[in-house]
């Protein structure tokens, strides 16, 4: 039982330090977003989402003829997904995508780690 409790404690410690840089892509259905603009709910949903996520970047554009937004934020826990997505699904009939992403520093670090591990594997095979 002691090991099991220790593993759970380790899990929660790691989880508390874990943030995943995530790209949120929302593509709004045209009719629903037209209605949301007319009734004033679209700006409120966007504002509430931005206040909750505190994105490091956010962009708004048209994709395939639909209003779209992109936000990059740190997801602290996967349990956040419903609270992020459901307002867009329910009120905007939107398509929502979440993807883990890297910045240039993350990519550099990841490639260095890959290079180190591939060099070790090559050395062990030789």
For residue 15, the model assigns a pLDDT of 52
For residue 43, the model assigns a pLDDT of 96
Which whole number is the average pLDDT over 62-69?
A: 97
Which whole number is the average pLDDT over 12-17?
A: 52
Q: In Å, how far are 11, 15, 39, 43, 53 from 33, measured between CA atoms? A: 41, 36, 10, 10, 21
Which of residues 26 and 11 earns the better pLDDT score? 26
Inter-helix orientation angle 30-39/81-92, to 10°: 90
Domains, the chain, ordered by start? 19-125 (3.30.70.1060)
36: how many CB neighbours lie within 10 A of its CB?
22
H-only helix segments in 18-103? 30-39, 41-53, 81-92
- Positive or negative, the Cα torsion across 75, 76, 82, 88? negative
Which of residues 118 and 7 earns the better pLDDT score? 118
Q: Is pLDDT of 60 > 80?
A: yes
pTM for this entry: 0.78
């Amino acid at each position: 039982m002691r090991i099991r409790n220790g593993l759970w404690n380790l899990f929660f410690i790691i989880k508390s330090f874990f943030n995943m840089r995530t790209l949120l892509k929302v593509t709004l259905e045209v009719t629903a977003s037209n209605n949301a603009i007319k009734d004033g709910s679209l700006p409120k949903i966007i504002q509430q989402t931005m206040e909750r996520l505190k994105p490091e970047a956010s962009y708004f554009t048209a994709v395939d003829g639909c209003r779209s937004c992109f936000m990059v934020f740190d997801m602290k826990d996967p349990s956040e997904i419903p609270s992020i997505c459901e307002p867009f699904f329910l009120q905007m009939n939107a398509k929502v995508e979440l993807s883990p992403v890297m910045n240039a520093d993350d990519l550099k670090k990841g490639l260095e780690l890959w290079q180190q591990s591939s060099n070790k594997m090559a050395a062990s095979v030789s």
